[in-house]
């Protein structure tokens, strides 16, 4: 379904009451009604009048205004008089009513979607034929915009913080799509037509995955528990509808196996690929397969021929965090076995990115090993998981000990933040196990902050490095007197306020010894 004009804010106003009835217009009770000996009771007359009024209200929805028009269906705002509510009404176009596959797909869309009861899948209310014999179904009317429209708006101005906010909002919407797909997969349904135009985003956080007309319903596994829900496809297969070589879906975002027409090989990983294509569009503002014709797009999709994303680049379309680029590359792998094996796995990586909880690799070294060497380029920082290290700095050609580091302490981070050589060496004094924070992971964690916060951290690191270098080259400056006796707040008190790890009773204005920072 392609985007079209938005529905009118207010449809043609219906009557305040769909029941053409007034209590004051009821006929008077028959003689003897008060004692129950003759005629109907007052309650029975009221019930009869209400049911008679309901029977006179039209059961069919009335069309109000067009919302969107696609290749096979028209979506309009409709009014259901018996329930007194607005809905969306999708009707099969006359131009495809003579095509069995299109008619079947239309009916299946309603039947399959109706069986997927999930907060991020639009509810279907009714399926039927209108007065002209055209198939239609009604569903919840979603006020908002498509994901495609939100992606298009992402390139608007507003600065780095605004760009990060837009990116975060778009990926949060994509995570809700992951929830909808994971639910559908658990019921045996593969969507097979994921694209930004098929995702509706409401004004209050609602996200709905739409258009299930090309969905594949898998056979119920024989070992599945009898009480486990599974979507049923009530329509019979049409000749040739499941044969290999049949290509269906949207060429710009489809998986290679789908573009090759390998119908029997479509599974959850087919949707995983298209989720990666959606994230690709969020980061770049374009579909992966740009082409002059659908045929050319299909040929590109068959071999996974899409331009790589310039990680960390902007090029007029906002931030492209390296970790999100990595997620795209894995989700859009050519071979299904190289992709995320489930939507849940992809969603987990998206959540880890935003929560900044990457899993760190570890390194175990024997006593006496050099972990980092003074003067070398810094490619990683380290957290001591077990054991003890010693910090050594060269002075006059001889190593001088600056102290020892124990479990939980960090070293090497300054070289990553400032892109400068190591300021000291670190030696393992006992066998140690270290958690390794690589430059990529550091960049990812920095980008998981608000951009302005990441910039502040890097700026503070640079200033601290400059201050330490100047202090190391200059005579020791006299310690200034305390500003005021009443101003003796200690570092320990600051830690209690800021939740920092400072176990120190010195006043806040006391100098911190040079050498505590190890890059």
Query: Could you give the residue numbers annotated as active site?
Result: 193
Hey, what are 98's tokens?
Answer: 């003579």
Closest Cα to residue 347, out of 32, 120, 58, 160? Answer: 120
Using CA atoms, how far apart are residues 164 and 161, in angstroms rounded to an integer? Answer: 5
Q: Alpha-carbon distance 181 to 186, whole Å?
A: 8
Segment (H or E) for 190: strand 189-190
Q: Which two tokens stand for residue 350?
A: 């998206």
Say how far apart CA 323 and CA 466 lie, in whole Å: 30
DSSP state of 453: H
Element (H, E) at 104: helix 100-114
Distance of CA 80 to the CA centre of its chain: 34
Question: Could you tell me which of 352, 390, 357 has the C-alpha nearest to residue 374?
Answer: 390
Q: Give the separation between CA 468 and CA 227, rounded to whole angstroms.
A: 68
Q: Which residues contact 230 (CB under 8 A, 6 or more apart)?
A: 187, 188, 220, 224
First to last CA, the chain: 56
As a whole number of angstroms, the distance between CA 1 and CA 75 comes to 9
- Count of positions (residues) in the chain: 519
Task: Please state the φ and ψ torsions of residue 330, each to the nearest 5 degrees.
Answer: -70, -45
Long-range pairs for 397-403 at CB < 8 Å and ≥24 separation? 399/425, 402/515, 402/516, 402/518, 403/515, 403/516
CA-nearest of 268, 437, 423 to 342 is 268
Report the candidate in 201, 202, 332 with the shortest Cα–Cα distance to residue 275. Answer: 332
Q: Tally DSSP H helices, then E strands, for the chain.
A: 13, 18
Q: Which segments of 439-505 are extended strands (E)?
A: none
461 sits in which H/E element = helix 451-473
Q: Which residues contact 348 (CB under 8 A, 6 or more apart)?
A: none
Whole-number Å distance between alpha carbons of 255 and 277: 9
């Amino acid at each position: 379904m392609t985007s079209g004009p938005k529905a009118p804010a207010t449809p043609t106003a219906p009557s305040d009451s769909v029941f053409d009835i007034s209590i004051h217009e009821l006929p008077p009770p028959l003689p003897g009604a008060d004692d129950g000996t003759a005629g109907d009771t007052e309650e029975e007359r009221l019930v009869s009048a209400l049911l008679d009024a309901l029977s006179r209200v039209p059961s069919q929805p009335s069309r109000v205004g067009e919302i969107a028009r696609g290749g096979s269906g028209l979506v309009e705002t409709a009014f259901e008089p018996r329930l007194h509510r607005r809905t969306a009404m999708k009707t099969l176009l006359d131009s495809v009513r003579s095509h069995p596959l299109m008619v079947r797909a239309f009916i299946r869309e309603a039947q399959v979607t109706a069986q997927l009861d999930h907060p991020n899948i639009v509810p279907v209310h009714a399926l039927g034929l209108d007065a002209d014999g055209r198939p239609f179904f009604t569903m919840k009317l979603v006020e908002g915009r498509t994901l495609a429209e939100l992606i298009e708006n992402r390139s608007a101005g507003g600065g780095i913080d605004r760009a990060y906010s837009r990116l975060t909002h778009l990926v949060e919407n994509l995570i809700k799509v992951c929830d909808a797909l994971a639910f559908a997969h658990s019921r045996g349904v593969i969507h097979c037509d994921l694209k930004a135009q098929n995702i509706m985003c409401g004004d209050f956080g609602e996200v709905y995955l739409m258009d299930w007309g090309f969905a594949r319903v898998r056979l119920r596994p024989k070992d599945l528990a009898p009480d486990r829900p599974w979507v049923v496809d009530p329509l019979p297969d049409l000749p040739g509808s499941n044969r290999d070589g049949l290509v269906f879906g949207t060429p710009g975002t489809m998986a290679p196996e789908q573009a090759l027409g390998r119908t029997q090989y479509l599974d959850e990983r087919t949707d995983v690929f298209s989720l990666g294509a959606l994230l690709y569009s969020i980061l770049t503002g374009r579909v992966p397969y740009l082409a002059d014709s659908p045929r050319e797009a299909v040929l590109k999709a068959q071999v996974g021929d899409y331009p790589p994303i310039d990680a960390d680049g902007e090029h007029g379309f906002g931030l492209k965090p390296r970790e999100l680029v990595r997620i795209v590359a894995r989700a859009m792998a050519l071979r299904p076995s190289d992709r995320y094996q489930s939507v849940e796995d992809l969603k987990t990586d998206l959540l880890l990115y935003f929560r900044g909880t990457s899993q760190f690799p570890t390194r175990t070294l024997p006593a006496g090993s050099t972990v980092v060497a003074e003067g070398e380029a810094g490619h990683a920082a380290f957290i001591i998981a077990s054991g003890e290290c010693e910090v050594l700095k060269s002075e006059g050609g001889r190593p001088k000990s600056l102290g020892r580091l124990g479990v939980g302490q960090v070293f090497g981070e300054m070289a990553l933040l400032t892109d400068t050589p190591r300021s000291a060496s670190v030696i393992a004094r006992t066998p140690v196990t270290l958690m390794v924070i690589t430059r990529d992971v550091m960049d990812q964690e920095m980008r998981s902050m608000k951009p302005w916060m990441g910039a502040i951290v890097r700026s503070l690191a640079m200033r601290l490095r400059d201050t330490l270098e100047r202090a190391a080259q200059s005579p020791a400056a006299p310690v200034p007197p305390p500003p005021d006796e009443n101003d003796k707040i200690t570092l320990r008190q600051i830690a209690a306020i800021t939740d920092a790890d400072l176990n120190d009773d010195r006043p806040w204005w006391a100098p911190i010894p040079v050498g505590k920072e190890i890059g």
